[in-house]
Amino acid sequence: MNRWEGSGGAFVGSQVFEDGTTGDGVHVLIEQNGTAKWPTDPDYLSYRSISPADRNGYAADVDLTVNAGDILRFLVWAGATNTGDITSWTPSITYS
């Protein structure tokens, strides 16, 4: 969890993908203070689904305005089963 000390613009850049090969995949979402911020298209502000063994996944990129005390959450939902739900997600956050 990241908690902000200041205010301003922030770019979240990340690639999220599945490392597992079985199961029903995962569903991912970025929230700011409990409000969905990514994905924005085409699954506007709802979980983005990633199939098992999808090594490309999605570029989870979003421009945000952050304020002191804001919390960004990178949510991974297993769906119906957590079998094979090995997920890679290493976001970087750049302030502007």
Query: Closest distance between Ca ion and the C-beta of residue 92, in Å?
Result: 26
Query: Closest distance between Ca ion and the C-beta of residue 53, in Å?
Result: 12
Q: Tell me whether residue 48 or residue 85 sits nearer to Ca ion (CB atom).
A: 85
Q: Name 61's Cβ contacts closer than 8 Å, sequence gap at least 6.
A: 11, 12, 13, 14, 38
- Determine contact, residues 88/54, Cβ cutoff 8 Å: no
Place of tokens 């597992």: 20
Place of tokens 């952050």: 66
Q: Tell me whether residue 12 or residue 84 sits nearer to Ca ion (CB atom).
A: 84
Q: Tell me whether residue 10 or residue 58 sits nearer to Ca ion (CB atom).
A: 58
Residues of the shown chain interacting with Ca ion in the complex, contacts defined by CB under 5 A: 23-24, 78-79, 85
Query: Closest distance between Ca ion and the C-beta of residue 63, in Å?
Result: 29
- The edge-to-edge listing of strands for the beta sheet with 87-89 is 58-59, 15-18, 87-89
